[in-house]
Structure 1
Amino acid sequence: MLFSIVIPTYNRKPILEKCIQALENQVITDSNLISDYEIIIVDDGSTDETISWLKQKAFPHLRWFQQDHQGPATARNLGVEKANGEIIVFIDSDLVVTETFLQAHAHALNSSIDRAFTYGRVINTSNFENPTAEPYKLTDFSAAYFATGNVAIHRQWLEKAGLFDPQFQLYGWEDLELGVRLKKLGLKLIKCPDAVGYHWHPPFSLEQLPRLIQQEIDRGKMGVVFYEKHPTWEVKMMIQMTIFHRLLWGILSGGGRLNEKTMSPLLQWLINQGKPQLALEIARIFLNWYNVQAVSGKIPLSKP
């Protein structure tokens, strides 16, 4: 079967180079399962040098397309539309995979029931030079049902479910919302830990805080859209739309008094001590407060 790897990207040229090169280095040991593969990049209106770089490259498996900045949901839909494969693999453009990545997904799909998709392992790392050197950590565990950081699925199920909802133009939830519809079709998640991807992000710094805060606000707003489509208790828990979450993050953040301004000295001290990850985990206290505020309507939804 032909595998199509669909990757939306937005202003991620440096790590995108590593992402594509790792995919070009795939070792296919069973041609009965994978006849060939293609890499579909959809640039979501990048303003960096992504397009000029892509124009200069001639990777054998790569095809790429452009769209105005509309978010990953629309970009993935365009990628599926342009893809030729029977199997669609979704990863993010900041993921660097091992050389047996595709083969692992193919074996897991082949040994599973018909109504299934495979979910690989994602390991978070800040090591840009050698991202695949990072060991698996307990914090890398994910209980998500359908997350597009590392997933492979038969194209027919995506089309039957209706692909991604383009309402999700801001950050968050477009993949899990599609997962709700896939679950209604009876699809089963098959864990595939041998399909490993290393999710790179730069070490935490205070300069990232405005972007991270906006990301949490956007996630909260898109969570409201998610709940409006699927008004269930399960979705409420996922998006933190409960009194418990408001109380939890309200208490931990002192009602918002512990924020990016008041906590910056502590966070910078931890960063200076070589503990940026710990600083980020502490920052999540007020980042989650922004999220639940947006979910509860304290930060109103505006048109993206």
Structure 2
Amino acid sequence: MFISVVIPTYNRKPILEKCLKALEKQEFNDDIIRNYEVVLVDDGSTDGTLEWLEKNKEKFTHVSCFSQNHLGPAAARNLGVTKANGDIIIFIDSDLVVTETFLQCHADALIKGEKKLGSDRLFTYGAVINTCNFDDPTSEPYKITDFSAAYFATGNVAIARKWLEKAGLFDTRFQLYGWEDLELGVRLKQLDLKLIKCPEAVGYHWHPPFNLGQIPNLIDKEIQRGRMGVLFYEKHPTFEVRLMIQMTLLHRILWGILSLGGILNERTLAPILQWLINQGKPQLALEIARIFLNWYNVQGVYSAYRDMVKN
């Protein structure tokens, strides 16, 4: 098989370097993988990503780079697929650092899954471990908070190109944060594709340690995710999607109670969050912050839904 690793990126130059270096160090133990390439799509970065890559292109012999205006990851991934040469597409994000056997593990799982199912209607989903360790991201252990029940998420997934094309690629109307990959997943599920878990294909998702300065951006993302969630529901008006985007009475009650109707918010919880950060527990602080972040998300969903109904 010929594998194309498609990566959208936007202003992530420091961690992107680690991402691309890891992909240059891939090790293979058989002839399943005929060749591979890394298709990087710059989504209008302003941090010098393209200039840096041009100066260092001799270090990244497998990388082909393309660019577009800032249109979002859905459009970037679509461009990457159209430029890719592989029959197998692996999607990862540009803040993911993989192990040396990453591609081999996905390839093995695809072959094994096809034999087990007696069909090639499948894709493999690798493990994603979240880490704040920039210097040594792959040293992070797996945590219960790293578990994901998503059917199709582009942080670490391998799929035959033909199924992406048959499903219609990503919907580029998803220009804000969230849901473009899970929406494509609904269409892939309608084609009867099976999810094969591949925990051996590990990717370490780096993000900076949580601090209070990140909160406005996190709130904005949750509101964006709410708006895109309603677009998701507009395309697939099912109860399953309502559960996914938190557009149910249960979610309104749950996060309403946990946030005390919004009383526990970024202002009232700030002292506790800062104390936890000072104690060296930024991840715990972030989990507590999710109380009001999810409340903002639910509010955003229903606000966007009212706008949709009105229009």
Alignment partner, residue 94 of structure 1: 95
Map 1:60-139 → 2, pairs under 5 A = 60-113=61-114, 114-139=120-145
Alignment partner, residue 10 of structure 2: 10
Kindly tell me the number of residue pairs found equivalent between the two proteins.
301
Is contact 1:4-1:89 (8 Å) kept?
A: yes
Alignment partner, residue 159 of structure 1: 165
Alignment partner, residue 193 of structure 1: 199
Q: CA deviation at 1:263?
A: 1.0
Q: Percent identity?
A: 72
Is contact 1:123-1:135 (8 Å) kept?
A: yes
Alignment partner, residue 21 of structure 2: 21
Q: CA deviation at 1:299?
A: 9.0
Q: Tell me how far apart the structure 2 counterparts of residues 73 and 239 of structure 1 sit (CA, whole Å).
A: 18
TM-score by length of 1: 0.97
Which residue of 189, 192, 202 maps to 1:183?
Answer: 189
Alignment partner, residue 56 of structure 1: 55
Q: CA deviation at 1:191?
A: 0.5
Question: Which consecutive segments of 4 or more residues in structure 1 shift more than 4 A?
Answer: 298-302
Distance 1:35 1:74, change over 3 A: same
Q: 1:61 is aligned with what amino acid?
A: H
Is contact 1:221-1:301 (8 Å) kept?
A: no
Q: 1:115 is aligned with what amino acid?
A: R
User: Structure 1, residues 211-244: CA drift from partner, whole Å, max 9, x if none?
Assistant: 1000100100000000000000100000000011
User: Structure 1, residues 117-140: CA drift from partner, whole Å, max 9, x if none?
Assistant: 000011111000000000111111
Alignment partner, residue 244 of structure 2: 238
Q: CA deviation at 1:300?
A: 7.3
Alignment partner, residue 38 of structure 1: 37
Q: Tell me how far apart the structure 2 counterparts of residues 300 and 79 of structure 1 sit (CA, whole Å).
A: 35
Q: Tell me how far apart the structure 2 counterparts of residues 214 and 24 of structure 1 sit (CA, whole Å).
A: 35
Map 1:222-261 → 2, pairs under 5 A = 222-261=228-267
Which residue of 277, 281, 286 maps to 1:275?
Answer: 281
TM-score by length of 2: 0.95
Structure 1 unaligned blocks of 5 or more: none
Q: Tell me how far apart the structure 1 counterparts of residues 240 and 250 of structure 2 sit (CA, whole Å).
A: 14
User: Structure 1, residues 91-148: CA drift from partner, whole Å, max 9, x if none?
Assistant: 0000000000000000010111210000001111100000000011111111000000
Structure 2 unaligned blocks of 5 or more: 115-119
